[in-house]
Amino acid sequence: MAMLLLVGSAVTVQAIDPAAAAETTLRAAAAKAGLFFGVAASPGRLSSIVGQEFNQLTPENDMKPATIATSSGGLQNTGSADTLVNYAQTNNMLVRGHTLVWHSQAGALQGASQGTLNTFIGNAINRWGSRIAYWDVVNEALDDNNTGRRRTQWPHSLSRDANGDGDYFDAGDTDVIRDSFIRAKQVVQAGGLSTKLCINDYDVDGLTVSGGTPNRKANALYDIVRTYRQYIDCVGFQAHFNDNPNSIITNDLQANIQRFADLGVEVHLTELDIDDDLSNNDIGAGQAENYRKVVRACLNVARCTGITVWGIADSESWRSSERGLLFTGGGGNYQKKAAYHAVLDELNKGRDVSTDPTSPGTPTATPSVPPTTPPVTPSVPPTTPPNPTTPPATGCSATVSLNSWTGGFVATVRVTAGAAPINGWSVQLTLPSGAAVTNAWNANRSGSSGTVRFSNVSYNGRVNAGQSTEFGFQGTGAATGLTPVCTAS
Ligand code: G3I
């Protein structure tokens, strides 16, 4: 039974069912709430707990350029990555590819040109295709110490700020972030892949950092995502929380997740671990509350579609002395910590998106910034047009791409205008039996199972001839064989 809440004049459906039996694994509880819960792993750590507890997997080190890239952008040593992808597939887990363009662990790619980076991007994406649900295309592009600036070392030394105004968005600028995403988008579109393209960074979690100072690093990331929105599908907050003043857990974590979500991208907490010392060595109780707070912030934003912890057990973590994970033990023999039980409990409570303006049941607010900002002319022109979809002669057409996991899915629907502009659209599709929509963004929705209809919201009804706009929805069950039918108005 869903609860109906009256919020102002709006009726909000809260996806919490107190009578439902609690799930007993993180993956099952997450799937019921409509998100994935994942873990970073390497082939030596694939004990049964990985497939039992988690429904998403990120190779901790085995897909980094240092492992798989040759100096000319080719691939080598992909065996460990293959092992992880195969394991994930066998266990119905999504895979996050980590990572394509990064200043660290670059191996033979260190110092490469944009052309060579582009070659590597193409080879890596095509190697695994849609078996990779999300790729971290660019990792850790921004400087430390809350400067709000880009890094300066390679590959960022490839970028040029022609007029010296501090950003790389102007005509004449060269931007390794933009050009890497353009290349990745081309590869995905040319291959008809469902893979989504993410930018990932740390210390970008809250709107503010210690002492209430604005989080300039988060603001810089926001500007990048807003400017290059047409190439970027998702944002990763690494969420390595420790006592560095720039990486503390703030009360505005949820608001920061929300503002990125309002741009239309999925938001993920990609490398979550929380220093136990943040709770004054109180043997885990404070850490558990911190985990609860972070998980709740994600659950309260409809487009926060996944959380990944950076390892299974404290002893096997990159920061083992800080005991930041959900299990103790090691070597396949693991014990659940208080933090584990807190996360499971919080996931079992489900989402409460009553404060999310893009969720169904609340009035859809016009975002403070347009969902897509026209991009600057790329300095490396795409070799294929960014959108190869052939527009229909008149009216509109729609295509759908799916990211699925056991018990749930996220669908992205692209609406394309025909030879004439359209001022409004609606898309109808029929879900298979057992599947149901839990929330949608960038569209109004009627119905949740069987035949469901979506229509434009105020800011995306107008689509110019041959151009596209996107909306998305999330659901439970399996959504196979969706055939969207688009009607223009
Ligand atoms: O496997 C070798 C081992 O054979 C050798 O004896 C040993 C000697 O040092 O090194 C081992 O490799 C280490 C590898 O982790 C596997 O444990 C590397 O030295 C070590 O540098 C590497 O560290 C990884 C680190 O990225 C490198 O920057 C961590 O495992 C990994 O958790 C960490 O992950 C990063 C994310 O990619 C990006 N965000 C931050 C996060 C934490 O730093």
- Rounded distance between C-alpha atoms, residue 319 and residue 330, angstroms: 14
Among this protein's residues, is 316 annotated catalytic?
A: no
- Determine the distance separating the centroid of ligand 1 and the alpha carbon of 218, expressed in angstroms: 25
Are the C-beta atoms of 476 and 34 separated by less than 8 Å? yes
**Atom number, ligand 1, closest to the C-alpha of residue 202:** 39
- Determine the distance separating the centroid of ligand 1 and the alpha carbon of 52, expressed in angstroms: 25
Q: pLDDT-derived band of residue 392, with 50, 70 and 90 as boundaries?
A: low
Are the C-beta atoms of 36 and 305 separated by less than 8 Å? yes
pLDDT tens digits for range 370-387: 333 333 233 333 333 333
pLDDT tens digits for range 439-449: 777 788 999 99
Which residue ranges have their beta carbon within 6 Å of ligand 1?
A: 60-61, 104-105, 238, 271, 318
Residue in 70, 183, 77 with CA at minimum distance from that of residue 125: 183
Q: Mean pLDDT, to the nearest integer, of 290-312?
A: 98
> At residue 235, does pLDDT exceed 90?
yes
> At residue 209, does pLDDT exceed 90?
yes
In degrees and rounded to multiples of 5, residue 115 shows phi and psi of -60, -45
pLDDT tens digits for range 164-182: 988 999 988 999 999 999 9
Beta-strand pair 266-274/304-309: parallel
pLDDT tens digits for range 450-470: 999 999 877 678 888 888 877
CA angle, 237 as apex, 204 and 219 as ends, to 5°?
30
Q: Mean pLDDT, to the nearest integer, of 34-43?
A: 98
Q: Mean pLDDT, to the nearest integer, of 225-251?
A: 96
Q: Mean pLDDT, to the nearest integer, of 172-193?
A: 96
Residue in 180, 357, 350 with CA at minimum distance from that of residue 261: 357
Q: Which of 41-55, 107-121, 260-274, 388-402 has the lowest mean pLDDT?
A: 388-402
Among this protein's residues, is 53 annotated catalytic?
A: no
Mutate to test the pocket of ligand 1, among 42, 60, 61, 136 (most ligand atoms within 8 A of CB): 61
Are the C-beta atoms of 252 and 300 separated by less than 8 Å? no
